[in-house]
């Protein structure tokens, strides 16, 4: 409180248009209010006491004025003295720390003048604090500001999640007083209770990357707004909270055993709003100010710490945001515990990731590779360890659950093969690191090894300087039996592959060709001429009672028998062609084996002389390829699906054998 004989005007001035001259000036921030003391004193105990005190002080100062006056004073001097006394009756009060600022005081002043005020979720908390500050109690005046705002809080605000969050956000600049009045805790409890009681299906989790809301479809959004009070709109209000209030709200939600989907989506939405670069697909820049690096680190660790341990929603959007958090954690140099928790969380839903998610840049000076391969390897390890521990559905049987796990494993296998193809061109990627990641998956993760062969081919093309032993080590990670026809054709003509790998491709082609021909010949042993004869006999056995119906049936059977006879003749002709192809293949493989044996002898002689064996081998490889052509008309590759029960270490043993 401050008193001034001549109140100064600063900033903007606010006048009450009652037609009466103001007798009190109240300054709040940069606003000067020219008011009247009687309306204010009728509603506010504090203003009544302050104005009364100033009036008492003014009266005392008048009594203490010297009573001596000049005898020759004229009438003009008496008039001036009366005007000075009138000016002294205008008092001035300063409120430098008024809760809610000048806007809130203006609303409170209007209330004192009897003007009807509109209460909302945004202004009810500042007005409640203003009423407490000015002591506008029910005991002092009936239907005062405190009771009016309390009724609005209880009957309107706290019954809506959106309004409760909006009121909670308005308390951030009045925390000491708002906390004392219990407004903050009441809003937090209201949000937690009503969110836990709401139907989680109305929320439409998880958060959509491309929309400001939570990604609910149009019909679900209308349903949520009708039944849940605007679920997606209060979700947007959540992003306006300060970090301390947000942490308290999340803690209250977790204490109420709120759905992990809701908590996870609240955390990811808040992170997307305040941490830049979380969602790379979102091109819309945030209008909010970007926090500092320390604030981002604190926010990031808060988000990671409060993420539910159990996997709530396995969706590509959630997984993409988690990868964004992991990249940010690497940039901000977050704690190892936080990064490990994120990697474990990502590993639990790795099948929902994309290749773009896995391409995590390496931010460490100690890591020479372009991408963080070690991080992806750790995430893959978390995925494999948690695959069997995933909760099974009570509705589905054991076979269905195994099928779901098998599908997830195959999706991850395809993802890792694509990742290997992407990082294979990195000159700093060591062969050992490439092989470790390639053999980390079990055999049943890949139905075909075409993707792995593509990665091997890219690696050999990008690393032409590696030795022959390292080439064989790289090629040892793939199973030649699981290559498709296109991959086999490409591998047979690929000069970058070592000789052993090419021989394996041709060997398994011949083996599968034999199996296919053997199976066809077993079926062809049945005499096709017996089929129509048996069919005609079956038609005649029904004579006697059947009449015309039996004759019709016999004609149909004869037609089907003739059709089957032509099919069997066609199959026999195809078998003859396959036999010729098999003989040709056997001859070519024998020639290739002899050529390979002679080439090895030549290489050994060159090594003894001191020349480079690898160059000789490469030239020899090109020679026999040109000689044979390596183009076969009939090639059969294995296309069967491996069983789920195959051991994970099968590929690892084969890789060690190749070494």
pLDDT digits (tens, 9 = 90+) for 154-169: 999 999 999 999 999 9
- Is 474 within the bounds of a domain? no
- Is 318 within the bounds of a domain? no
Lowest mean pLDDT among 275-284, 480-489, 593-602: 275-284
- Is 353 a residue whose pLDDT tops 60? yes
The whole-chain average pLDDT of the chain stands at 75
- Give the single-character DSSP code of 371: B
Share of the chain above pLDDT 90, in %: 33
Q: What is the pLDDT of residue 429?
A: 93
622: CB partners within 8 A, 6+ apart: 495
Mean pLDDT calculated for residue range 13-42: 81
Contact 100, 129 (CB under 8 A): yes
In the chain, how many H helices and how many E strands? Answer: 28, 4
Backbone angles phi, psi at 12, to 5 degrees: -110, 155
- Is 28 within the bounds of a domain? yes
Instruction: Express each pLDDT in 245-301 by its tens digit.
Output: 999 999 999 998 888 888 888 888 888 888 877 765 554 444 456 677 888 888 999
Lowest mean pLDDT among 82-86, 197-201, 300-304, 397-401: 82-86
Mean pLDDT calculated for residue range 307-329: 80
Q: Using CA atoms, how far apart are residues 138 and 124, in angstroms rounded to an integer? A: 17
- Is 520 within the bounds of a domain? no
- Is 410 a residue whose pLDDT tops 80? yes
CATH number of the domain that 43 lies in? Answer: 3.30.710
Q: What is the pLDDT of residue 79?
A: 45
Instruction: Express each pLDDT in 547-569 by its tens digit.
Output: 444 444 444 455 454 555 556 55
Contact 177, 128 (CB under 8 A): no
Q: What is the pLDDT of residue 394?
A: 44
Task: Return the top range by mean pLDDT from 15-19, 78-82, 178-182, 201-205.
Answer: 178-182
DSSP 3-23: --SS----SEEEE--SSSPP-
Q: What is the pLDDT of residue 585?
A: 75
197: CB partners within 8 A, 6+ apart: none
Q: What is the pLDDT of residue 590?
A: 78
Contact 443, 648 (CB under 8 A): yes
Q: Using CA atoms, how far apart are residues 490 and 361, in angstroms rounded to an integer? A: 32
C-alpha distances out from residue 83 to 46, 54, 59, 78, Å: 29, 19, 16, 9
- Is 229 a residue whose pLDDT tops 60? no
For residues 69 and 635, the model is more confident at 69
Residue carrying the six token digits 């954690």: 329
User: In which band, very low, low, confident or very high, does the pLDDT at 128 lie, cut at 50, 70 and 90?
Assistant: very high
Q: Are strands 12-15 and 31-35 parallel, antiparallel or unpaired?
A: parallel
* Total of domains in the chain: 1
- Is 518 a residue whose pLDDT tops 90? no
Q: What is the pLDDT of residue 504?
A: 83
For residues 127 and 397, the model is more confident at 127
Instruction: Express each pLDDT in 359-369 by its tens digit.
Output: 999 887 777 88
Q: What is the pLDDT of residue 106?
A: 92
Mean pLDDT calculated for residue range 75-95: 60
Instruction: Express each pLDDT in 416-470 by its tens digit.
Output: 999 999 999 999 999 999 999 999 999 999 999 999 999 999 999 999 999 999 9
Instruction: Express each pLDDT in 529-540 by its tens digit.
Output: 554 444 444 444
Q: What is the pLDDT of residue 68?
A: 46
Domain that holds residue 19: 12-61+85-119
Q: Using CA atoms, how far apart are residues 553 and 509, in angstroms rounded to an integer? A: 46
Q: What is the pLDDT of residue 119?
A: 94
The encoded tokens of residue 411 equal 């999706």
Instruction: Express each pLDDT in 51-68 by its tens digit.
Output: 888 878 766 655 555 544
Any idea what the Cα angle at residue 152 is, between residues 146 and 157, rounded to 5°? 130
For residues 518 and 615, the model is more confident at 518
Q: Using CA atoms, how far apart are residues 95 and 129, in angstroms rounded to an integer? A: 14
- Is 70 within the bounds of a domain? no
- Is 288 within the bounds of a domain? no
- Is 348 a residue whose pLDDT tops 80? yes
């Amino acid at each position: 409180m401050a008193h001034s004989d001549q109140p100064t005007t600063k900033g903007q001035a606010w006048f009450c248009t009652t037609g009466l001259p103001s007798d009190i000036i109240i300054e709040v921030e940069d606003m000067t209010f020219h008011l009247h003391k009687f309306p204010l004193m009728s509603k506010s105990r504090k203003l009544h006491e302050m104005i009364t005190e100033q009036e008492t002080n003014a009266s005392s100062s008048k009594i203490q004025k010297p009573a001596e006056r000049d005898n020759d004073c004229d009438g003009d001097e008496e008039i001036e003295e009366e005007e000075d006394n009138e000016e002294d009756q205008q008092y001035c009060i300063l409120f430098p720390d008024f809760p809610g600022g000048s806007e809130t005081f203006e609303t409170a002043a209007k209330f004192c003048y009897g003007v009807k005020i509109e209460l909302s979720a945004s202004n009810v908390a500042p007005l409640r604090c203003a009423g407490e500050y000015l002591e506008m109690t029910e005991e002092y005046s009936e239907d005062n500001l405190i009771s009016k705002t309390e009724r609005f809080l209880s009957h309107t605000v706290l019954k809506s999640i959106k309004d409760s969050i909006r009121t909670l956000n308005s308390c951030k600049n009045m925390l000491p007083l708002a906390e004392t009045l219990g407004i903050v805790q009441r809003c937090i409890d209201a949000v937690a209770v009503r969110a836990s009681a709401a139907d989680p299906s109305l929320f439409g989790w998880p958060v959509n990357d491309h929309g400001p809301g939570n990604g609910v479809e149009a019909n679900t959004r209308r349903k949520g707004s009708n039944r849940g009070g605007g679920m997606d709109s209060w979700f947007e209000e959540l992003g306006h909270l300060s970090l301390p209030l947000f942490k308290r709200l999340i803690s209250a939600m977790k204490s109420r055993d709120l759905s992990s989907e809701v908590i996870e989506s609240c955390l990811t939405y808040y992170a997307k709003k305040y941490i830049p670069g979380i969602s790379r697909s979102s091109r819309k820049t945030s209008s909010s100010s970007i926090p500092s690096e320390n604030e981002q680190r604190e926010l990031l660790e808060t988000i990671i710490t409060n993420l539910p341990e159990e996997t709530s929603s396995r969706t590509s959007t959630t997984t993409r945001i988690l990868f964004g958090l992991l990249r940010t954690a690497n940039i901000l140099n977050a704690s190892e515990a936080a990064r490990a928790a994120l990697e474990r969380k990502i590993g639990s839903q790795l099948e929902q990731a994309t290749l773009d998610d896995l391409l995590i840049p390496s931010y460490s000076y100690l890591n020479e590779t372009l991408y963080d391969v070690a991080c992806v390897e750790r995430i893959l390890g978390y995925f494999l360890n948690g695959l069997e521990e995933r909760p099974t559905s009570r509705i589905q049987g054991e076979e269905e659950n195994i099928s779901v796990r098998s599908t997830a494993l195959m999706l991850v296998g395809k993802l890792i093969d694509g990742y290997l193809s992407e990082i294979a061109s990195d000159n700093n990627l060591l062969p050992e690191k490439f092989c470790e990641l390639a053999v980390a998956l079990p055999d049943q993760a890949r139905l075909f090894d075409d993707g792995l062969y593509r990665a091997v081919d890219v690696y050999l093309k990008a690393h032409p300087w590696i030795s022959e032993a390292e080439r064989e080590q790289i090629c040892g990670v793939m199973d030649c039996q699981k290559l498709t026809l296109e991959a086999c054709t490409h591998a047979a003509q690929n000069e970058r592959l070592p000789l052993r790998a090419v021989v394996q491709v041709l060997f398994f082609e011949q083996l599968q060709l034999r199996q296919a021909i053997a199976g066809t010949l077993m079926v062809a042993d049945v005499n096709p001429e017996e089929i129509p004869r048996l069919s005609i006999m079956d038609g005649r056995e029904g004579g006697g009672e059947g009449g015309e119906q039996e004759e019709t049936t016999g004609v149909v059977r004869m037609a089907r028998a003739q059709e089957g006879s032509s099919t069997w003749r066609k199959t026999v002709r195809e078998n003859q062609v396959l036999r010729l192809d098999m003989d040709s293949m056997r001859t070519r493989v024998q020639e290739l084996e002899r050529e390979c044996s002679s080439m090895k002898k030549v290489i050994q002689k060159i090594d003894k002389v001191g020349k480079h064996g690898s160059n000789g081998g490469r030239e020899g490889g090109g020679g026999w390829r040109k000689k044979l052509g390596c183009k076969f008309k009939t090639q059969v590759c294995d296309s069967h699906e491996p069983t789920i029960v195959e051991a994970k270490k099968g590929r690892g043993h084969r890789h060690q054998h190749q070494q």
